[in-house]
Each structure stands twice: as structure tokens, then as C-alpha cells.
A and B are shown apart, each in its own frame.
Chain A
């Protein structure tokens, strides 16, 4: 049983459910947020979050603004963030990398590949 929690940030309930189903089947706990500001709040409220999967285009604070916000947040240790989005633009990917993202996944995802990516970022055997 895995006791690590993953924060899933996406304005689509369907995507949050898809990701949640994939990761809970491997024992991860899921914390959800529907935009960047909710994600900032969730990170502060849930110390058990070990990594973040984050969409880019969302209402309010988007995924890249979220990344840039937590990069400057000295409240806690850095949590690895992987972007999960329909956008494959090299410019946005470069911006995410500069802001400290650990990876980029272009939707749609294959569940077993998403799980392997989460395990890799979490430093667990695949």
C-alpha cells in the first residue's frame, strides 16, 4: 500500500476522475483542485502531497502561474510538479521548465504510462 498523495489540478472533473482512478488503483491518495489558486491552498493544507499533476489552461490562476507562485513560496519544501495538458508548445514547455516543472505530459494519457511517470518522479520502482 502506497501512502503518498498526489495533488491533481485540472478544471475538468472527468480528467481528475481519470487520473484519480489510475493512481488510486496503485495505492496513491488523491487530493483535487480545479485551478491554480485552489492548488496553492491545497499544497499548504495537505503536507502529505508528494507530487502534483497540473493542467495548464484553467480559469483563474492557470498551471504555469501556479508553478511560478509555488516556486517563490518559501512556506515549505519544493514538491515536484508535472504538467498534464493538451498543449505541446515548445515555448510553454520551456517556460514550465524554467519555473521548475519536472515533466510534461500531452493529453490524452495512457494510464499505465501515467502511473510509470508518477512512480519515476516519486522515486519508486516502476
Chain B
């Protein structure tokens, strides 16, 4: 993150990095870009979103993509049923938001998260309810596009530190196991 970037730009970059590392852990190497729109996806899509909030920052993150992309990312080789698609999309978005919140802890930002929700849809298109000019984050994976939508509602008092300051408060990293 470059010094001087806006809170929103830096939060967006943290979210992109969180989602990209999650996808990499699932065995794919996504390329991601922002500021680009694309035509509404045709055919059946899967969407899921999860929210997060504290007193100064609230928002949500959504994934939208074709069913076959979610199948590609699924950890178990199996024939997926209708409920599997939405379930897996919910888990994916939950893990992406979880990573985002874990990274923010090192900046002194603690967020509560919501239970994720998922849906199946045809020819659906997501759009920002807060900022009509906002565009999705596009993750390109083996020729398929996964849209990520980050909604942010930031209080004027909120300020994201330029770099992580609270190493002692940093979250456990993904895959860590601790015993008490």
C-alpha cells in the first residue's frame, strides 16, 4: 500500500490481497484488477456475501461467479448439488472476509463479521448501493472471472494506519494450530 492512498483504496488493496491468497491456497493463481466493468455474466451464477462492522467502518464483501468456477475451487471432488453451490460460495466469502479482518487487526482495527449468505441466480449483476461509480474487483482464474464487490461505509473519524502497528495484536495466520 502506498503512503497517501485513501482509506478506501488501502482497504480495497488489503481485501484484494486477502482474497487472492485464499484463492491461491485453493490451488489457483488469480490475476486481479480493479476499475473495470464487464458485461453481466450469462447462465447460472453463484453469489455470496458477508458483512463486517465496527463503530467507524462497516461494509460487506460479495463474490459473484459462474457455477463452474466455484466447482473448480471446491476442495472435494464430487458431484455438487444445488445446495452445495451456495454453501461453498458462503464459505469462500466467509474465509475471504475472515482474512481481511485478521489483517486489519495488525492495524488496530477490530471488526465483527456476519453469518454469510449465498444465492443461485441467472444473469445477475451486482452494483454498489453506496457509490454508483464503484466497480468490482475482477479475479481472473483460468479464463473465468470471479467478481468481488467490496462495499465500504467509512466514518470521517476513521483512519487506517500507514503500516501495521500492532504486531502484538496481530491475528493468527491461516492454517495455524494452537493448543491451550
Contact = CB atoms under 8 A, between A and B. Distances in A.
Interface stretch (B4-12, B59-67, B99-107, B152-160): B99-107
A24 to B, nearest CB: 13
A94 to B, nearest CB: 10
A122 to B, nearest CB: 12
A112 to B, nearest CB: 11
Contacts, number: 105
Interface string B81-110: 001100110110011011101100100001
A72 interface: no
Contact of B180 (A17, A57, A90, A101): A101
Q: Which range holds the interface residue count of chain B?
A: 35 or more
Contact of B102 (A87, A108, A114): A87
Contacts of B40: none
Q: Which range holds the interface residue count of chain A?
A: 35 or more
Contact of A104 (B76, B88, B113, B177): B177
Contacts of A42: none
A108 B174 contact: yes
B177 A89 contact: no
A12 B90 contact: yes
A104 B175 CA distance: 10
Contact of B179 (A87, A88, A90, A103): A103
Given A14-B76, A113-B177, A88 B172 contact: yes
B43 interface: no
A-B interface, 4 closest residue pairs, ranked by CB to CB distance from nearest: A86-B98, A88-B171, A88-B172, A12-B91
29 contacts: A12-B88, A14-B75, A14-B87, A14-B88, A14-B91, A18-B75, A85-B98, A86-B94, A86-B95, A86-B97, A86-B98, A86-B99, A86-B102, A86-B174, A87-B113, A88-B98, A88-B176, A89-B102, A93-B172, A93-B178, A101-B180, A104-B176, A104-B178, A105-B176, A106-B171, A106-B176, A108-B175, A110-B175, A121-B179
